[in-house]
Structure 1
Amino acid sequence: MPTEEAVTPVTAFLLVKTTPEWLGLTVQERVDAFTTQVVPAIEAKTTGVRSRFYDTEFYSARVTDVWVWEADDHQAYQLLIDALRETPFWDRYFEVVELLVGTENGYARTYGLDAVATIST
């Protein structure tokens, strides 16, 4: 087992569903809402977070989007969620359907192993 205390990055998969209010906005209004309401709230509360967004409404009626947030550690993740909850994106523009949080290759760190992954070329 590793003896050094390491910071563990956190990955959160937020499964969300758009609301009629969000769909009623124009594309430009949506971009503006994100850049003026979400980004400043996150920047004011935390550092060390990154995001990616995936559209899933083509394949699922229950979940329309998956937001993937990576945080440098658990504290940054908690501050991120606090920041998001203070914006209209949380339960006004989007319904949070599921929150799946994990650490990549946690088993490897726990048992002092190299991570097992696949690579296809």
Structure 2
Amino acid sequence: MPAEETAPPVTAFMLIKTTPEWLAMTPQERADAFATQVIPAIKAKTTGVRSRFYDTEFYSTRVTDVWVWEADDHNAYQLLIDALRETPFWDRYFQVVDLLVGTENGYARTYGLDAVTTVST
């Protein structure tokens, strides 16, 4: 019996820039804001999403951070964005500069090819 194919996860690179309001907070106030205002909204509205956070302000003035999201499917991603938009994260603490959304190795699945990857030894 062939393995059942599932839709590939959706990956979103959320390019964001801090606002003066966010920068005016202490580091502890920032952590508390995420813990009490942002994370609970995400958990209440969606499942099947994971994230990683990258600081880029050392190298860029236009984008200070990149929040990488992986969602099980497009619906989970849409629920995530809806949840974020209802928190101070969106346009108050951060300006969302751009959203780059895709699926890993989509071309390979489309054309039945092996994915091109690199390994450094």
Q: Give the structure-2-normalised TM-score.
A: 0.94
Q: Hey, what's the Cα distance between the residues in 2 that align with 1:116 and 1:56?
A: 27
Matches within 5 A, 1:96-115: 96-115=96-115
Deviation at residue 5 of structure 1 after TM alignment: 5.3
Q: Hey, what's the Cα distance between the residues in 1 that align with 2:115 and 2:73?
A: 19
Matches within 5 A, 1:9-88: 9-88=9-88
Deviation at residue 8 of structure 1 after TM alignment: 2.1
Question: Which ranges of structure 1 fall in alignment gaps of 5 or more residues?
Answer: none
Contact 1:8 1:74 in 2 (8 A): no
Runs of 4+ aligned structure 1 residues displaced above 2 Å come to none
Deviation at residue 65 of structure 1 after TM alignment: 0.5
- Please give the root-mean-square deviation of Cα atoms over the aligned residues, in Å: 1.0
Deviation at residue 6 of structure 1 after TM alignment: 2.4
**Residues 74-120 of structure 1, C-alpha deviations (whole Å, 9 max, x = no match):** 11000000001011000000001111001000001111122110011
Deviation at residue 63 of structure 1 after TM alignment: 0.6
Identity %: 85
